[in-house]
Structure 1
Amino acid sequence: MIIPARYASTRYPAKPLADLRGATGEARSLIRRAWDAAMAVTGVDRVLVATDDARIADHARGFGAEVTMTSPDCANGTERCAEAIAGLTRPPGIVVNLQGDAPLTPPWFVEALVEAMRADPAMEVATPVLRCDEEALDGFVADRRAGRVGGTTAVMDRRGRALYFSKEVLPYADPAKRHAVPVFHHVGVYAYRPPALARYVGLDAGQLETSEGLEQLRFLEHGIAVQCVEVEARGASFWELNNPEDVPRIEKVLAARGTV
């Protein structure tokens, strides 16, 4: 499993080093909490933090993480993962990208993703999606009304293959019927076969990827299927750290879970 992390975020500079307080009031950085989430997943052979920034690298090594340095020219986490495995003596059969801004990711989200990949050798890329409950959907809509970029939504065909990902709330529904139309929250995790990662870095970023700022759209724009795997919350709240305003949301969940 690889946790890509960069310092120079446009919307939230130094985000990986932002502190999040848990149930006891202890502050741990975002990258530390993402690492904790990764270490809770069963069946993972190795966890790497992939970064191009010495501050993140030093901090991650300080709490015991294994770090691999990658080029500052990587445009996104998928490219960073591709570079990270290129330097390994033995590339893994499946590469999991747990994005560093998703510290609330429950382990079963990742485990379900890996299980789906193992069950279908033809699956090149997969990612989890979570059916929004009323609270999550209201949060998405509130963010957009306030002009903030919140979570990402996914639209799929009947076999679960992604048709589109967007930072808008899709599909559109009449406000009176909004809660009757399923909206799927795209969870910030990907699983790839190494050949798919190698292909990705050789492809140009298209207009959709550039406009939305969503790396997974490069696969779709070049005709590479992305399988969406629906996961269940099991009562666990999920939210990514996209904006400074998300810090209290995540800290509230950490406190409710009793997370240190």
Structure 2
Amino acid sequence: MSVLIAIPARYASTRYPGKPLVALRDPDGTEKTLIRRSWEAAMAVRGIDRVVVATDDDRIRTAAEAFGAEVVMTSPDCRNGTERCAEVAAALPGFEIVVNLQGDAPLTPAWFIEDLVAGLREDPSAEVATPVLRCDGRALNGFLTDRRAGRVGGTTAVFGATRHALYFSKEVIPYTGRAYGDAEETPVFHHVGVYAYRPAALAAYPSWPIGPLEELEGLEQLRFLENGRSVLCVEVEARGRQFWELNNPEDVARIETMLAEMQRG
């Protein structure tokens, strides 16, 4: 199966305007923008046929082309990354799987995407697949700390016996009712903001209205669930790596710390 990775990136983020061009610093002082680090993460994935940055902003296009990325310009009317990926898929037809690696996830390990594509190939009943990562106590406590401070630290997922999603939320679900040590395994799964779509489901997505759950949570993947489409949750292994998305300005220091840990490891 031929696979395309599209990296949606918009300048006018509600929570963090201009974040694709935010510089993240390595321990040696080297700075690279968020969009460059996300593109480098995509380029490290095995078995991918093409990688493009999808944006509606000339500043992002200029920055991306400067470091060698292929850019597809999309409409400013796209309401989320999935709609942007649908435009890319329409402009570049012929791929059997389209992967959405969001431009705020530079810590995404290559094997997350490799496992995601494999999971979608193996489950013909699934129209979309997305990775989930079991939280250890450190990650869960970070989520809870953010929520107590009024910030969204990440999204959690719950799924059934067949691993098909039941719900995604910016709240921490399921409720656990107890504290966990940093290295302790928890029953909470962090939803990793990456998607693999079959083209037919992706093409249909923009035609569906935004439903009440997507409106309330601000989570694009809920539109698939609200329209009866099957979303496979593929559990991935951290292999000692910490994972975090850049959602808020406060996340810059956290991600820089994780980048330093990666380099030391």
Query: TM-score, normalized by length of structure 2?
Result: 0.94
Select between 177-186 and 107-116 the one with higher mean Cα deviation: 177-186
Is it true that 1:102 corresponds to 2:100 in the alignment?
no
Distance in 1 between residues matched to 2:166 and 2:126, nearest whole Å: 16
Distance in 2 between residues matched to 1:81 and 1:148, nearest whole Å: 27
Residue of structure 1 in register with 2:254 after alignment: 249
Contact 2:136–2:186 (Cα < 8 Å) also in 1: no
Aligned residue type for 1:30: L
Give the fraction of aligned pairs with identical amino acids, expressed as a percent: 67
Distance in 2 between residues matched to 1:177 and 1:24, nearest whole Å: 34
- Using the TM superposition, give the Cα deviation of residue 180 of structure 1 relative to its aligned residue in structure 2, in angstroms: 7.1
Q: Deviations over 1:189-237 (max 9, x none)?
A: 0000000001111111101101111000000011101000000000011
Distance in 2 between residues matched to 1:42 and 1:249, nearest whole Å: 27
Contact 1:23–1:256 (Cα < 8 Å) also in 2: no
Distance in 2 between residues matched to 1:41 and 1:134, nearest whole Å: 28
Unaligned runs of 5+ in 1: none
Q: Say which of 229, 236, 242 aligns to 2:241.
A: 236
SS at 2:176 equivalent: coil
Distance in 2 between residues matched to 1:135 and 1:36, nearest whole Å: 27
Residue of structure 2 in register with 1:69 after alignment: 73
Residue of structure 1 in register with 2:114 after alignment: 111
Task: Report 1:175-190 matches (<5 A).
Answer: 175=178, 181-190=186-195
- Using the TM superposition, give the Cα deviation of residue 145 of structure 1 relative to its aligned residue in structure 2, in angstroms: 0.3
Q: Deviations over 1:102-125 (max 9, x none)?
A: 100000000000011122233210
Task: Report 1:67-216 matches (<5 A).
Answer: 67-88=71-92, 90-175=93-178, 181-216=186-221
Residue of structure 1 in register with 2:51 after alignment: 47
Residue of structure 1 in register with 2:30 after alignment: 26
Distance in 2 between residues matched to 1:258 and 1:175, nearest whole Å: 33
Unaligned runs of 5+ in 2: none
Residue of structure 1 in register with 2:8 after alignment: 4
The structure in which a higher percent of residues are strand is 2
Is it true that 1:219 corresponds to 2:234 in the alignment?
no
SS at 1:47 equivalent: strand
